[in-house]
Amino acid sequence: MDVHEIPTPAPVIQWPAFEANLAAMSAARPGTSLRPHVKAHKCTSIAAAQAERGHTAFTCATPGEMLGMIDAGLGDDLLLANETVDPRRLAALAARQDDASITVAIDSDATLAAAALAGIRRCLVDVDVGLPRCGCAPSDAGRLADAARSAGLEVRGVMGYEGHLMMVPEHGDRRRQVSDAMAALAGAHAEVGGDIVSAGGTGTFDMYDGTTVTELQAGSYALMDTQYATLGLPFHHALTILGTVIAVKDGYAVADVGLKALGMDHGNPTIAWEGTAVWFCSDEHVTFGTGELQFTVGEHVQVLPAHVDPTMAMHEIAYVVEGDTVVDEWPIDLRGWS
Ligand SMILES: Cc1ncc(COP(=O)(O)O)c(C=O)c1O
């Protein structure tokens, strides 16, 4: 198929940039020192490409992602790095423990009790390292690990996601703050024990020398987005949402890539034509100023998302392209809430 035949709006992955991103991260975090987060792409074909490079342990955000990874034969070592108390979903995971290695994050007596009741065998203590989200207080981690062991679970170690630091603009500043957060995680790990200290993301991929962190949970690096691009990381835009221009007016044009095709929590997307400026998005439309440029109805535009994770979750198929040729179609098969 030619790229011009792709029905829009649609995610398009530039194969050379994708390959380069995977290679750059593998060089920095080889093998299982990277535990790629699948929530950033929700696509087992991408996970398989990551596994081919030696990253055979994965991070997931939902039980459904875990089950999809097992079904795809990628269940060597799966971490649910998110809390769940849903007995049905935990039981569905527990039922697959003979086919796959399943570890779930716990951060409270309630999440531990739910995991134990469902028959989950392995856990990791999720520690609050400063992001106001999940995670127990570092001072409570040892007690929770003891309680988990008493309930019969294996405790593999700790995780602490310092998401509040991913976008600290200056590299040295970011590194210093990450190092403080990781000192809190190391303190918790000393009380918890186990082999795993799991942390970080794309924005902090190079910040763990001299810390006890054993693995990085990055996901966005594979496809990238305009927010992360502001940090000057060695990863490039591999994902665009292909759109079609459906109206051309005096000074602006409209394409069919709107709120229902883009994660917008990090702001407006960018049209990949210098001289254009996005004015706003509505449900099915992006309206952009055309400056000196001429557009015609029916032509394609490439739209760069500001946040890759929710963008991918809105689509069913990603088209992999090299030049003008579609070389593959990858189902975004980990989407949904089942
Ligand atoms: C638990 C967890 N780990 C790691 C990440 C890192 O992902 P990214 O590579 O997008 O920074 C995230 C992103 O939100 C996350 O929630």
Helix crossing, 15-28 with 44-52: angle to 10°? 50
Name the CA dihedral angle for 310, 314, 320, 324, rounded to a multiple of 10 degrees. Answer: -110
Residues 63 and 212 occupy one common structural domain: yes
Closest CA to ligand 1's atom 3:
217
Q: Is 81 in the pocket of ligand 1 (CB under 6 A)?
A: yes
Atom of ligand 1 nearest to the CA of 40: 10
Tell me how far apart the alpha carbons of residues 73 and 96 are, in angstroms, rounded to a whole number.
Answer: 12
> Domain holding 46: CATH number?
3.20.20.10
Residue nearest to atom 6 of ligand 1 (CA): 201
Spacing, Cα 15 to ligand 1 middle (Å): 23
Residue 265 and residue 200 in one domain: no
Fill in the amino acid letter for 208. Y
Reported pTM: 0.97
Per-residue pLDDT tens for 211-252?
A: 999 999 999 999 999 999 999 999 999 999 999 999 999 999
Q: How far, in Å, from the CA of 201 to the mean position of ligand 1?
A: 5
Distant-in-sequence, close-in-space partners of 113: CB < 8 Å, separation ≥ 6: 151
Ranges in the chain, pLDDT < 70: none
Domain that holds residue 92: 30-217
State the distance from the centre of ligand 1 to the C-alpha of 163, rounded, in angstroms.
Answer: 7
Do both 212 and 240 map to the same domain? Answer: no
What pLDDT sits at residue 338? Answer: 76
What's the structural domain count of the chain? 2
Q: Are residues 287 and 239 in the same domain?
A: yes
